Amino acid sequence: MLKIFQALSQCLAHYTSLFVIGIAVVTFFFPHLFDWVRGNTQTVILGIIMLTMGLTLTTADFKILARRPLDIFIGACAQFVIMPCVAYLLVHVWHLDPALALGILLVGCCPGGVSSNIMSYLCHGDVAFSVGMTCASTLLAPVMTPLLMQLTAGEIIHIDAVGMFTNILIVTILPVAIGCTLNYLYSRRTWFPTLQSLMPGISVTCLAIIVGGVISTVHDDLVARGLMLFLWTFAVVFCHNSLGYLLGYMAGRLARFNTAKKRTISIEVGMQNAGLATVLATNFFAAQPLAVLPCAISCAWHSISGTILAGIYLKCDMQKENKRREQK
């Protein structure tokens, strides 16, 4: 039975985007399935995702913050400058509805996504650098996300910066700290690696549940305003994400990073913790229910686009290898 769960976990990790999209489609036709994913329930589910991240982190992962401070500093600056600025630009160029604007700004101001580490591994990026960037942006998020939201969205709606700071501490830092502590205490136990192997599946399932809850919340608006609302929102999410990848890669070139680092920083900058954005939108902008829509679309699209980008990088490697063989 355990092997079945492990295989299922690996399957969910490989097909994250398909599973999340599948749940979203099912929820659209049966919105009451995820009516229970509201408020504190949604917060707890995100906490579980962050706990799974903590359970896979070791002290060695945090040591990179001290060993490569310049790399991490450049990565963190790129993360918290590029994505909020791009989001702010898109909001004003596209004249977005205030609710949708809040959603895309939240995605832009959140830290890097957990699955970015997997994408960096798949495209032969610098995985240690990826983990270090994720750790750094997550640790900075309680301060940077409320601050950036105040700067970018303060003109749209009142931002409860202190409440947001506390909420991010509870749903990100605390679960990650608990997971890291458990990893430190029990990593040598024979059963712990087995537990860790189940974490990807649990994380993906929780992400899909959050997306299901969002679709359930905005279902009536989607039905009333039709396909154009979804397509318009997706177009903004697509531009935000794609520009994040492009500008992240350019930041790596300016910093004279090697190929592996440039790939990693592009993925880290482009892929955001949209699950956190979803929970924050629900908790702090309940009066603007459509604010969660860009967050939910980002949850699914970032996984798809990250996989596509990793594939493009691998194809570039194959082409270079073929040219080398031809020259020989």
Share of the chain above pLDDT 70, in %: 100
Q: What is the pTM of this model?
A: 0.87
Return the pLDDT at 328. Answer: 63
Mean pLDDT score, 164-177: 89
pLDDT in tens, 227-240: 788 899 999 999 99
Each residue of 125-162: pLDDT tens digit? Answer: 888 888 889 889 999 999 999 999 999 998 888 889 89
Q: For residue range 73-128, list pLDDT tens digits in order.
A: 999 999 999 999 999 999 999 999 999 999 999 999 999 887 788 788 778 888 88
Pairwise CA distance, residues 132 & 143, whole Å:
18
Q: Of 181 and 64, which is predicted with more confidence?
A: 181
Lowest mean pLDDT among 168-172, 281-285, 320-324: 320-324
What is the model's pLDDT at position 318? 85
pLDDT given for residue 184 in this prediction: 87
CA 268 → CA 52, 119, 193, distances in Å?
A: 19, 9, 26
Lowest-pLDDT choice from 15-24, 161-170, 229-238, 280-289? 15-24
**How many CB atoms are closer than 10 A to CB 38?**
14
Q: What is the pLDDT of residue 235?
A: 95
Q: Is the predicted pLDDT of residue 193 greater than 80, yes or no?
A: yes
Radius of gyration in angstroms for the set of CA atoms belonging to the chain, rounded to a whole number? 19
DSSP state of 272: B
What is the residue extent of each domain of the chain? 37-194+218-318
CATH architecture of 37-194+218-318: Up-down Bundle (1.20)
Q: Which parts of the chain are beta strand (E)?
A: none
